[in-house]
Every structure is written in structure tokens, then in C-alpha cells.
Chains A and B, each alone.
Chain A
Amino acid sequence: MITGRFYLVFLKRRYQKKTRLRPFSGPGTFVHGVHPPQRKELSADAPIEIVPAPEKIILPLLQHVGGPCTPLVKPRQEVSFGEMIGRGEAFVSAALHAPVSGIVQKMAVTTLPNGRHLQAIVILTQGEQLEGQELWDQLFGGKWPAKAYQTLAPEKINTAIHAAGIVGLGGAAFPTHVKITPVGEKPIHTLVVNGCECEPYLTTDYRVMVEAPEVVVAGAMLAARAVGVKRTIIGIEDNKLEAVDALRRLAAGAGIKIAVLKTKYPQGSEKHLIKAVLNREVPLGGLPADIGVAITNVATMTAVARAVMRDIPLTHRVISVTGGGIVAPKNLLVPIGIPMGELIEICGGLKKTAARIIAGGPMMGFAFTDLRTPVTKGTSGITVLTHEEVRRVDQSVCVRCGRCVDVCPMNLVPTKLALASRFKDLNLIRRHSIMACFECGSCAYVCPAGLLLVQHIRTGKALLAAERK
């Protein structure tokens, strides 16, 4: 009898534990995907360090999805910290602000790791700078009483976000004001905040959640107010339980739920996060708004809180400089526009074994070679891989083993897409819904033939786009 009762109590406890961890309706994961080595331990425990203003800042005029900004400054003009120096004319665009005080130089052309050649504003640092602890206090420190703002008109929040030039800091750099503007009649019912950081190596979102949970929650409350939703869920993978702990109490106080998800790549893809958290599928070719969901990244939430509550534009961001090829991997708070080479120097430089430098993480990032390339709003990290970490497979041929089909999170047939792209077979490209591919790289990761599937698919997309014109 007694044993039976103990067993009942045990079952009840276990049930409660399960339900406490999953206060959301989704399955907590998605179908397919891969498990690349995480290697987050390299930089996960390094507190965010504040990088002093560099000598020179390079700000490309297009750091986001959408139209480029128009420069508002001339050479030899003096600018101060936070001053707007580029205006986004189109609706889908974002303003640009000076991250340092200084003097504007001649316009330059810079090449970003994704291969785009862009006009850029160059600022030579001069005079008093907002630096060190003072900068941290401004951006992350102090109190963030977001509750006091719950009576603020949603439009005001929107305007503040638009004016601050905020874009998604998770990597895609989509202008945030567009995301949280309710479109047409489609009512938005849920705000999902993306704290997955599924990309291996990177630990920026993790550090921000651990070190500034209050700012994240404040931003989430303001964004929820702006879109007019009642329900907010933060999705975090279960390899970041410290972040969950840091956020739990604050989130509960703000009525925000936390969804702990099974670690798997690419959970941070917005479509797959929505599937994991809400068990809803974003229609093919559609947006999360089509099923009533707005979704943004945790670091973006801190920028929103800053813009609305302290009137500070997006001038700095946190990035991870990590990988086996870096002497001392770190998480850094950096001014946008700082050359990436300087950050590598701050982290002790490259090891002799360094083989490849990547802007972003190893799965979706772009390899680059010019260390003068600036950090942009969407740069979430610099990953330096060693010879051992770079998977070297001599390209052979597809033996149609179907592994890419088994891992594609979009349920496509990557090898057919690559083949069709190589042979410029537009019919085949169309039949296999090439545009659904968001280039997560899972297929190339598992391909035993070492095929560059993502590159082939990209050319296929370009072919299709060229034909539509």
C-alpha cells in the first residue's frame, strides 16, 4: 500500500516536472535536421567584454534586407555618437547611426563576406567617446521598468524602433519595424522570441540572455505591446539551461512563457521554431504573420528596449569571436563597423592551425579573407576553424544515397535541386520548390560525396530569379 502511494506521488511529480518544462503547445522539436558538434564551450563562459572605439569605422549603406540607406553626411563633417547618418527611404529598410564620435571621411567601397560590393560611410574616431563601463550601463545596465510603458501607444513603440534602425540581430537582418507592424486584417496572436542560437560555436544570444535577462524581457514586453499580442513565448534550446534559469523568474513576472526545446540544428529557423513551439506550419512562400505569429531574436529585443526606453539607436552589438583557430575565444560588445581583424587581435589573434575565417557560424556563415571587412548589424560572430575542424572531403559524385533527403528540414530533395541547378533545368528546379530552401546547409553537412549542395542551389535560385525578370 505504502509503496503504491509513493509510486503515485512519484508519477505526479514526474508529470508536474514534464509539464513545467513544456508550458507550450508544440512538440518541442521539428522533423529532420542535424546534430553538428556544438563547440559552444569554447566561448560560452566568457563574459561579454567591451571593445573600445577603434580608429576607424566602416558602415556599409546596406546592412539589412531591403533598400539601401541614403547617406545624410558629407566628408569632413563631424558626427557624434548616436547621430543618424543614413536614412532608410523604403519601408523595408533601416536607418544607420554613428557608433562613435568622429569625422566623416570619403565614401569607400567595401566587400561584405556574402560577396556584395557596397558603398560605405567611413568615420575617423575623434574626441570624447562613450566607452567601457559607461557604455555598458547605457546599453544594458540599470533598471528596465517595462511595465511603466504598457500604456504607451503601439505606434509610438513602432516609430521608436523604426527611428533606431533596428534589424534582426540573429543573422538575417530583416528590419524589425516591418516585422512587428500588424499587416492588413491578419491578427497576430503570438510573439515568439528566438533564443535558440542553433548555429554551432556562437554564444552571443546565450551571453545576452545570461547577462542581461531584464533587458530581453523588457524588450519582449514592448514588442508584444507594439504588435498587440497577449501571448509571448521565448524559445530556448536545452543546451542553454543557464539562460532559461536567468530568464525564468523575470519572464514569469511579465507573463512570458519559456519553451525549452530539444537541441537540434536548424531550430533557430523561424519556421522550425514556430513548429517546435506552436505546432503550426508557416505556409510555403508565406510569412509567420500569415498564421498570426511575429518572431524576433532575443538580442533584437534588447535593442528594442534600448530604443524605446532610453532613446538609444542600434550602434553596438554583441558578437562571439570563437573557434579552434582563435587563441582566446571571447564574447565582445562591439561598435558596428569595426574591422573584423581588430576583433581577432583582441582575442589573441589566430593560431598557426587556423584554416578558415567565417563571418557567422560554420553552418550558414560566409568564409572571407579580407580582415578589414567591417562587422555589420547582422554579424553574429567570427568563427575561425582549424584544419581538423574544417571537414575536407574531396568532391566526388552523388550516389543518390538520400541522406540529404533524410535531413532536409524543409522536406526537399537537395540532390535533385543541385543537379537541376547544375544542368540549368528550370522545369526540374520548379517542380522541386527550390525557393523553399533557406540554405541551412544540413544537406551539405551530411553529404558523403562532399558536394557543395548549397552553392549549387543558390545558383539555381539565381537562374529562376533571372528567368522571372
Chain B
Amino acid sequence: MGMTIRTMMRDVLIALAPMVCAAVYFFHWFAVKQLLICVVACLAAEALFTRMRGRKPDLGDLSAVVTGLILGLSLPGTAPWYVGVIAAAVSMGIGKMVFGGLGMNIFNPAMVGRAFVMIAFAGSLAASGYVAIHMDVDIMSRATPLTAHKQMGTVVSLQSLFLGNTNGSLGETSALACLLGGVFLCVRRVASWEIPAGVLASTLVIGGVANLMDLSSQWTVAHHFLGGALLFGAFFIATDPVTSPLTSTGKWIFGIGIGVLIMLLRLFSGYPEGVMFAVLLMNALTPLINRLTIPRPFGGI
């Protein structure tokens, strides 16, 4: 085996590489700046908070780098620098350290940080925050595909959603990159395949039903699949081992629950996107799922 926490985290970093490349390709130095800010801030926050707890900080396990990268990839490139720093501080502090550090947290740290800044800096992060008309990267002057659809009924082509030349958070725009990295994670068994399978299956079913009920809609189930943070969330955010259930059955329940919540939020709420809230809600249910899915011991009834 030879698998250690460090090699697991290293595999996640390798899997994130396609998304980082896509982000840099589409958003140029906005992506570089945002990712650097988040990673450095997360490392600094981890070191600071661990020291405050009276322990020696261990940055070598790379977990802070992973959190920083995922956080950066879930923010828009145009977000001001302090948003990334505050999100990183909240991620590591409130998301992770208050629970006792690595392995003890209930909620996905990156999503805790993102949720905080999303509400605190609604102006620079909610739907309108993604549109930056004066920027020199032309895709940033558009709304994100999901917002454009929700507010104006505009439909972005599937090809753009698949390749990623559209606006959105840094890591989510390219479905191709997400699939590449995600499949690598599942093959290496660093991510449990049951979780993305559950998310995608339930999205497919609900999206499909919604699609069938309104056949005239241009926004098909395929758009749901490739657009927004669905693939990024399914493969990289939901699969955080610490905040997802332990058993195979539990992982299915968790994945399906996330998929259902995403589709409910997308179809019926005021938000165009629901991945972050869906994951956080299911994180809260994880201890309960663990308790309800204790496997039957060999020879037990």
C-alpha cells in the first residue's frame, strides 16, 4: 500500500492540476493571483491557529495547501484580495481548528470559508460579483452560465460548458478538467467513487425529470451536468473524507442527498447554484448517516 496522509493529499493536488491549468488558461493572472492568495493565506492561518492551540504546526501533510487550492478554485478570479484572505482564515479557523484540527472537523473547511465570504461580501461574490466589465479577460464580462439562465434565460452552449470558456468560479468552468482530475482521484481510491456516483445519478434523475416536464426549455439536463460547480463539487468537495461517511452505503446516501439538494436549490431557490449549501447540509448529516449505516458484522444478524 504505502499510502500515507501526505501521499493522499499529494494525489489530490495532482488531481487539481487540470483545473488549475484551465483556470490559468481562461482567467490568466486573475487565477494565478487568487490561487496564490488563498494557498498562502491558508498555510499562514493553519500555522497561526495551530500555534495558538499550543501545538507545533505541521504544514508538511499538505492538507492546508489542498484546502487553499480548493477554496481558491471555488472563488471568482475578480474577488478582491482580502476576500481570499478572510475566506482562508475562516476556513482554517472556524472550519477546521475549532473542531480540533485535521480529521476532526464536521464541515468541509473550504466551503465554510466560502459560505462566510459569500454572505459577508455579497457585492463582490454573489451573482453580480462574477461580472467584471472592465477586466481585460473577455469571458469575465459575462454573467456565469447559471446566473445568465436564471435571470435572463440565456443558454450557454454545451461545448463552452464542457471546455470551460465561460465565466464562473476559477475551477468550475471546465467540465473536462473536473472529469479528468475526478476520475484520477477515484482510480487512485483517494476519493470514494460512491459519492460522485450518487451525486451524478441523482442529478441525472431529477434533472431528467425536470427536463421531461418542460421539453421546450433550452436548459437541458446536460447543461445541469456540465454547468456550474456540479462536477467540481461532486469529485472534489463532496469527497473530502473527513466530512463524508465511512461506509459504502453511507457514501451512497451522502452522494444522493447532495445531488437532490443541489437540484432542489437550482430549480426552486433564488440562488442560481446550490453545490456549496448542499455539501454543507449533508456534512451536518454525516454523523447521523454514520450511525445509521453501521455495517452488519460478519456472522451477525
Which residues on A are within 8 Å of B, measured CB to CB?
31, 271-272, 275, 281-284, 286, 391, 393, 396-403, 405-406, 409-413, 415-416, 431-433, 436, 445-446, 448-450
Contact = CB atoms under 8 A, between A and B. Distances in A.
5 contacts: A271-B298, A284-B297, A400-B241, A411-B300, A433-B297
A396 B299 contact: no
B103 A397 contact: yes
A413 B294 contact: yes
Interface stretch (B2-10, B69-77, B222-230, B269-277): B2-10
A399 B247 contact: no
A271 B297 CA distance: 12
B1 A436 contact: no
A412 B295 contact: yes
Q: What does DSSP make chain A's interface, helix, strand, loop or mixed? A: loop
Nearest to B102: A397
B241 A411 contact: no
A413 B246 contact: yes
A448 B8 contact: yes
Interface string B35-64: 000000000000000000000001001000
B246 A416 contact: yes
Nearest to A32: B298
Residue of B7, B61, B299 with most chain A CB atoms under a 10 A cut-off: B299
Given A405-B247, A413-B246, A399 B298 contact: no
B298 A448 contact: no
B5 A433 contact: no
B46 to A, nearest CB: 14
A286 B296 CA distance: 15
Given A399-B103, A400-B241, A450 B4 contact: yes
Contacts of B192: 402
A412 B294 CA distance: 8
Contact of B4 (A272, A406, A448): A448
Contacts of B248: 405-406
A409 B61 CA distance: 30
B208 interface: no
Given A401-B8, A448-B3, A448-B5, A281 B298 contact: yes
Q: What does DSSP make chain B's interface, helix, strand, loop or mixed? A: loop
Contacts of A271: 298-299
A393 B295 CA distance: 28
A445 B1 CA distance: 8
B59 to A, nearest CB: 13
Contacts of A283: 299-301
A402 B3 contact: no
Contacts of A391: 2
A282 B301 CA distance: 11
Contacts of A284: 297-301
Contact of B101 (A281, A397, A415, A416): A397
A432 B299 CA distance: 14
B264 to A, nearest CB: 27
A415 B246 contact: yes
Contact of A411 (B2, B58, B251, B296): B296
A436 B189 CA distance: 27
B144 to A, nearest CB: 32
Given A275-B298, A284-B297, 12 more contacts: A283-B300, A284-B300, A393-B4, A396-B61, A397-B5, A400-B246, A405-B248, A411-B296, A411-B297, A413-B246, A432-B294, A448-B1
B299 A281 contact: yes
A396 B246 contact: no
A436 B242 contact: no
